Structure 1
Amino acid sequence: MEVRDIDGELYSAESSAAFAAVPDSFQRLWTPHRLVYIENGQQPGEEACPFCVAPTLDDEQALIVARGVHCYVLLNLFPYNSGHLLVCPYRHVATYDLATDEEVAEIASMTQTAMRVLTAVSNAHGFNIGMNQGKIAGAGVAEHLHQHIVPRWGQDSNFFPIIAGTKAIPRLLGDVRAEVAAAWPASGGPTTDPTEQTR
Structure 2
Amino acid sequence: MSSEAGAGSSAGPDGPWGRPAVGFEGFDRLWTPHRMAYITDEGPREDGCPFCRMQQRPDDETLVVARGEHVYAVLNLHPYNPGHLMVVTNRHVGELDELSDAEAHELTAMTQQAVRVLKRVSGPAAFNVGLNLGAVAGGSLSQHLHQHVVPRWMGDSNYITVTGSTKVMPQLLADTRDLLAKAWNA
TM range (shorter): 0.7 to 0.9
State the distance in 2 between where 1:90 and 1:152 align: 27
Equivalent residue number for residue 42 of structure 1: 38
Shift of 1:101: 1.1
Q: Secondary structure of the residue that 2:91 maps to in structure 1? A: coil
Q: Secondary structure of the residue that 2:133 maps to in structure 1? A: coil
Q: Which ranges of structure 2 fall in alignment gaps of 5 or more residues?
A: 4-14
Please tell me whether the aligned partners of residues 38 and 44 of structure 2 are also in contact (alpha carbons under 8 angstroms): no
Please tell me the residue identity of whatever aligns with 1:175.
Answer: D
1:1-199, aligned counterparts within 5 Å?
6-7=2-3, 9-10=19-20, 42-43=38-39, 44-46=43-45, 47-185=47-185
- Considering only CA atoms, is the larger Rg found in Structure 1 or Structure 2? 1
Two-structure CA RMSD over aligned residues (Å): 2.6
Q: 1:11 to 1:166 in 2, by over 3 A?
A: closer
Q: TM-score, normalised by structure 1?
A: 0.73
Shift of 1:65: 0.5
Higher normalized contact order (CA 8 Å, seq sep 6+, divided by chain length) = 1
- Provide, for residues 21-44 of structure 1, a one-character-per-residue CA deviation record: whole Å limited to 9, x for no partner: xxxxxxxx887969x99xx68332
State the distance in 2 between where 1:55 and 1:61 align: 11
Equivalent residue number for residue 22 of structure 1: none
Q: 1:32 to 1:92 in 2, by over 3 A?
A: farther
Sequence identity, in percent?
42
Q: Which ranges of structure 1 fall in alignment gaps of 5 or more residues?
A: 13-28, 186-190, 192-199
State the distance in 2 between where 1:169 and 1:100 align: 36
Q: TM-score, normalised by structure 2?
A: 0.78
Shift of 1:147: 0.3
Please tell me whether the aligned partners of residues 52 and 90 of structure 2 are also in contact (alpha carbons under 8 angstroms): yes
Shift of 1:158: 2.0
Q: Secondary structure of the residue that 1:150 maps to in structure 2? A: strand
The aligned length equals 163
